Structure 1
Amino acid sequence: MWPVRTPDHNGRPASVIWPRAPGGAPRPVECSFAFRFVALIVAQTLLNDTFLRALLREPTDYTPIWLMRQAGRYLPEYNATRARAGSFLGLAKQPDYATEVTLQPLERFPLDAAILFSDILTIPDAMGLGLDFAAGEGPKFAHPVRTEADVAKLAVPDIGATLGYVTDAVREIRRALTDGEGRQRVPLIGFSGSPWTLACYMVEGGGSDDFRTVKSMAYARPDLMHRILDVNAQAVAAYLNAQIEAGAQAVMIFDTWGGALADGAYQRFSLDYVRRVLAQLKREHDGARVPAIAFTKGGGLWLEELAATGVDAVGLDWTVNLGRARERVAGRVALQGNLDPTILFAPPEAIRAEARAVLDSYGNHPGHVFNLGHGISQFTPPEHVAELVDEVHRHSRAIRSGAGS
C-alpha cells in the first residue's frame, strides 16, 4: 500500500497518511527522501482544476460552473436521503449523509466544483444557542443573544470538539471524490456565514423580514454588536481554517444579509469583519493556494470595497451588470455569478439565452466562475439545471475559440 498524501518539500522526513484499514484510522509514519519521491509520484491529482484556476484569474478552456445550494431539495435523491436521516440537522451532522448529498448533483450534472453540505448556522449552534429547524419555519435558536449578559457569555467554540462532524465530512467528501489511483474529480469548497449574517440570526433568534432587533442593537448598543461580531469573526476564521486543514480547496464567506445594512453601517458591521476573517485565513495548504470567495447579497454598490479586502473572488447577485463589474474591479479579483435563480423556471431556450447573456457580458477574459445570484430554488426542475450547465460549458468554449459573441 502506498501513502496518498503529498510529501514535505523541505527535505525533512514527511508525515504521510496510509489508507485506512477496515475500521481503522490512518497511521502517520516517517519516511526517507527516497520514499517521499515514490509518494510524490502517487500523490493525488486534481482531474478538473478549472474552477480553481478561474478563481486565480488564470486562463481556462471554458467558464466553470457550480451553483449555490446545488445539493438541495430540488433533487429527488436529496429528499430521499433527508428522509432517511430524519431531519435537516440529522443530514448535516452525519458525515456519511453529508457526503452522499454533496456528491448527488455531481452525479447528475458535469459541475466544476463540489461544495460541502452543511449550514451557515453551525457556528452559533456550537456556541450553545440551540439551533432547530421547525417544519416550514426555517432556522430557530432556543437561546437568542439579546442582553448584555447574553453577549458576555459568547465565546469562540472549540472547533474540534463541537464541529468535528463538519471536518469529518470534508475528509470523507475528499475521499469520495477521489478514485483508487488518487485522482480527484473536482475541487471541494468549504464555507461559513459571515460574522454579520451569523449575528442577524443569533440576535433575531431566526430569520426576519426587517432585522429590527439586530439593527436596533447595532445602533443603540454598538459596543455589544461589535463584541458579537468580534467573537464571530474569530470563530469563522478558525472554522474555515479547520475546513482547509481537513481538505477544503477553496472557501466562501456568505454575507447573505450584508445588503440589509445602510451604507456606512455595512462597512462598520459587515465589511470590516469579513476583512478580519480573511486576514486570519490560511491561504495555502499542502503547497497549493486556497482561494477565498466573499459574497454579499445586495452588495453590488460596494464591489470595489469588497475587492479590496484581500479576497480572491467576489460573488455577485443578479442586480449587477457583470461586464461593468469586471471593469470596476480592473482585474484585481475574479467574479462569481450571477444569473437570477428564477430564470431556471423558464423554458430551456430562455435559460440558454440568459446564460449566454451573462457569459457575453463578462466576455473573453479570465477570472469568471458562473453561478446563480443566490441559492437555487427548491422548486427548480432538475432538467433545467442540466440545460444551464450544458449551455455555460458550450457557449464559453465558443467564446474562447472566437466563435461566440
Structure 2
Amino acid sequence: MTLLLAMLLLPQSLLAQGEWEITAESEAALEIGLQWLAENQGDQGNWESNDLGLVGMGALAFLAAGHAPGRGRYGDVVQKALDVMVNEAKPTGLLNIADPQRDLYNHGLATFVLGQAHGMTTRTDRRLNTTLDRALQLIAHTQCEDGGWDYRARRQPRGHDLSLAVMQAKALRSAMDSGLQVPPEVVDLAITSVRDHYCPRDGKRGAPEAEQQQQPGQFTYTKGGGGGTTAMAAAGVVCLQEFGQYEDWRIRKNMEVITADISQLPEAKRRDGSMPFDAYTLYYVGQALYQVSGDDWRTHYPKLRDYLVASQLRDERNPTNHGSWYDRGARGGGRVGGKPGQLYATSVACFILAIPNRYLPILQEGKIESLRQN
C-alpha cells in the first residue's frame, strides 16, 4: 500500500494531533493563500520564474496541504509545476536554468520537492522517477571532500556554507522517504559537514565536546563561526533531526537560540503581508519546531501561525495581492523582492500553515533509525 493510501486510511485525529494546531482562521488563511498561488501560476506553470527552486516551493505549498497529481482540488496545479521541473532538467540531472551560481540552491530545493511528490502519488510517473534519480546522482557526485557542496554543481575540496549542505541533505532525506536508495557514505559526510558548522560562543570550535556543551553555541553559515543566524540554527537542527541524530546535544543548543528569537517577535498589527521572519528563516524555523516537537512546538508554533493569519493581505478587489504575503520579516529584512518574493513568501507561509496536516512524507510521525553517525 502506498504512503498516500495509508494516510487516507488514518483518522484525521492522527493526521492533526490536536485542535490547538489548526484553527478555523488558519484553515481559511491557507485556503486563500493556495487560491492566490493557483490563480497566479500562469499557463506555463512556473509563476513566471526561471528559478526551479521557487517553482518547487510553489508546488510544495499544495503538497503540504494534501493536493497531489490526481488528487485534490489543486492536483492539476501541482502537476503543472512538476512538469516544469521535469521538462527543464538537464541531461546531467541538474535542476537549474538560472545563474550557475544558483546551481545547488535550485537543485537541492527542486529535488526535495520532487522527492516529496514521488512519495505522495499513487501512480507511476517514469519521467519523474528518472528525473529524481538523476538529480540524486548529481548531488552525490558533486559532494565536496569535506561533506559540503559548492554553489556550482562541481566537486572540490571544501563546500561553501551550511545553507547549501542543508539544501542537499534535505533532498537526500526526501528521496529516502520515497523509498529511493541513497549512498550511506554521502549521508555520513553530510552529517559531518553540518556538525562542523557548530560554533560555541567563545569560538573554540576545536575544544572537546564536553567543554563545548557547557556554554551557549549555534550552527553558523561558515565553518569559521561567521553568520550565526536564527536561520542557520534552524537549518542545522532540521538536518540532524531528519537524519535521525535525535540525541545530538547541538540540537538543544540551537533550539534555545530559535525559541528565544520567537519569544521576542512582535504581534502582527495589520494586514501588511509581512511574516514573523523572512521567508527563508521561517521555512526552517517552522520545520525545526515541528521536528523537535514537544513543548517547543506547542509553545511557539501558534505564534508563527497566528502572525501569518493576522498579516495576510486581504483585498478581494485586488486579486494581485489578495491572499498573499511578501518576503518581509516582522522586524524588517527579506531576501527576495518583487513578484518572486511574493511567490516565495506565500509558498512558505502556506507550507507553515499546512504542517499540522502531516501530509508530506517528511512530516510523518515516528523516528527513523539513526543513519551511520551518533
- Output the TM-score relative to the length of structure 1: 0.26
User: Where is the strand percentage greater, Structure 1 or Structure 2?
Assistant: 1
- Output the TM-score relative to the length of structure 2: 0.27
User: Where is the helix percentage greater, Structure 1 or Structure 2?
Assistant: 2
- Based on CA coordinates, which of the two structures has the bigger radius of gyration? 1
